[in-house]
Amino acid sequence: MKLNFSLYCKSLASTCLLALAFIAPAQTPLSCGQSDAQAAFDAAHPGAAEARAAREEATRNAARERTQRGGGDDELYIIPVVFHVIHDNGEENISDAQIQNAIDILNADFRKMNADTGQIVAGFVNVAADVDVEFRLAKRDPQGNCHSGINRIQSELTYEGNNEMKQLINWPRASYMNVYVAASAAGAAGYTNYPSDWGANTDGIVLRHDYVGSIGTSNPYRSRTLTHECGHWLNLPHTWGSSNSPNEEDNCEIDDGVEDTPLCLGSPVGLCDLDRTTCGSLDNVQNYMEYSYCGAMYTMGQRARMRVALNDDIADRNQLWTPQNIDETGVYEEELLCRAEFSVDRQEVCLGEEVQFTDASFFGVTTWSWDFGDGSNLEGSDESIHRNPIHIYEQAGEFEVYLTASNASGAVTSLDPVVIRVLDDGMLPAPMVEGFESGQGPWSDGQWTVQTQDGQPWQIRETTGYSGARSLYVRNRQNVGGEITRVTSTTFDAGDMAAVFIAYKYAYSHRTTGETDDRLKLQVSKDCGESWNTRQFHRGIIDLPTAEPHGGNFYPSGTGEWTGHIEEVDNEIYMVPNLRIRFEFESKGGNNVFIDDINVYGVDSLGNVQSLVVDMETTALSLSLFPNPTTGEAIAAAQWPGDGAVLILRDAAGRLVRQEQLRGNGGRRIPLDGLAPGVHFIELNAADQRVVERLLVLR
């Protein structure tokens, strides 16, 4: 076989997953993510590519020796496997059955027990191999606890499918083969790396969910994806060599390091031409490491190369199948009932909304008994009814849910409850004024929650506020970039309103080291938090900075280092009794960010502010201004005793701007418009009483 070793070394980088897709005339197959993934890997681990190239000759010699030896190499290697399903409660959260189906297909392929071995063309029947490797789901976790071998983690990183996602969870590679299932595999059907002494915390296989097995979200056409990837994970290149570029003329000059796979150009994705001859001999089109979509075999040479990898200490592959590791991971243990656990699609819902419960107990459960915490219970043995029930909460509050799983041998109950928080309609006051002051407002009443993916969270700053002592801030100066934190409200009753206005103040500065594109988003949800729409997007390179860059931690020194925004939401789909609001901050390595003085109010079709004055017939003298701050228009809600009152508007210097006689008894709403930027004082006089409120008009 002709080998251009310099070209091979240059292209010997990492592996990629065959971008398998269900071929249809109007559907384009996914491309492979190898090139970008490997470039990132090599940049993070200098020397890795050179080390792979340096040991290639020794790998080939060891594989050749095993092939020539003939017998004596028939030990069955067992590889413990753990699946990490990274999901966002979508279809990517595939079932246990789909995962087991993928394992079954993988084992049939590696043991040459796949049904389509009978279709292998005559030229390769004699080299088709039983690799003598089996993969089994682990039954114990790294701490020795009983486990199903399947982890499920909710994270928006499922849409990335990158190395950052893999670092959410990674079991020791000396004990487990890590397989990740996600909504995306970095834009491909999946990818992995060759064995390496580098990157232990990202070692594993990433698969897009619809390329796992042959059932569920996948299909039989895509079912060899994991087989292809495991070949890469055990140091197999593609049949045309270590690149992701099949059907190129130069491929006849490159070798895959396997003696019984003929030189070939490689099949274009989805081309299953069994008579294809590209480099002077019949191509092994049905090889699992091809792109033909009709893989049915590994060769004896590939078998030898994979078994060399399993006997090498590179990436600890030689530790996986040892008797000690087989015992510690429990792959041969009986499937005894040992744990009751479950997951939910949402832990925070509104009244009348469904909660989906999904049983994850193991092993051999025949009866399920659910305690939903609100006085409702469900028990039975009908898997279609009792295993994964849906429950609707009819009262607000927090409810602890337990599951008891049982079979003929006994019963176990979930150790820690899952807490479901059920929100009532209109929990926030209308209008809502939030200044984050101690003992005042929704924050002090527990009506905001903070969710932080990583980095610094939204938290109270005790000594920095716009109009008071406190504000909410992210200590972004401590972040390095990429961190996301959110603060989310409970519900605001926008039902029957024509529009909702959301006003707030914010402050931010860059570091003196340069500009960054940090992002502050105002988002609203029409369905109690199940989905979110971004209404305002402040960016570090556009409108987020409110002060000059700071070398140390930025804390606004006065109102001049703040600015504000008022967002009008008038789409009728958001006029619901359980409207929710949140602020999301994504760090890009800038300085601290602050929000304060959040005002939320609804107006009806006549422009009246919702619930601003519940009962205008009152004997108390009071004055409320909303929104405050404003951009030039506001509503004054005035209440007074007697037959009339006087409303006086002055500027910051005390000069009279406007004066209005208010006739009648009780009170009224007074529109204030055309206000110039700056500070104004609104005064209400009636029955020898006086009240003054400060109104800020933004530029």
**Do 183 and 87 contact (CB within 8 A), yes or no?**
yes
> Strand pairing partners for 639?
622, 667
Instruction: Quickly count: other Cβ atoms within 10 Å of residue 114's Cβ.
Output: 22
Known catalytic residue at 229: yes
- Report d(CA 102, CA 116) in Å as an integer: 16
Tally of CA atoms within 13 A in the half-sphere of 624 that contains its CB = 20
| Residue from 604, 681, 502, 641 nearest 672 by CA | 681
* Residue 336 identity (one-letter amino acid): L
**Three-state SS at 577:** coil
Three-class HEC string of 471-510: EEEECHHHCCCCCEEEEEECCECCCCCCEEEEEEEEEECC
Q: Which of 601, 693, 677, 598 is nearest to 632 (CA)?
A: 677
Q: What is the dihedral of CA 394, 495, 671, 490, to 10 degrees?
A: 40
The DSSP secondary structure of 247-290, one letter per residue, reads: T-GGGGG---S-TTS-----PPTT---TT-BSSSSB--TTBTTS
User: Coil, helix or strand for 201?
Assistant: helix
Angle at which helix 56-69 crosses helix 300-310, to 10 degrees, equals: 120
- How remote is the C-alpha of 622 from its chain's centroid? 48
Burial label for 170, CB within 10 Å (0-12, 13-18, 19+), is middle
* Environment class of 86 (CB within 10 Å of its CB; exposed 0-12, middle 13-18, buried 19+): buried
Angle at 265 between CA 260 and CA 270, to 5 degrees: 100
Of residues 56, 92, 229, 341, which has the active-site annotation? 229
> Are 349 and 393 spatial neighbours (Cβ–Cβ below 8 Å)?
yes
Q: What is the 3-state secondary structure (H, E, C) of 335-355?
A: CCCCECCEEECCCEEECCCEE
Residues labelled catalytic = 229
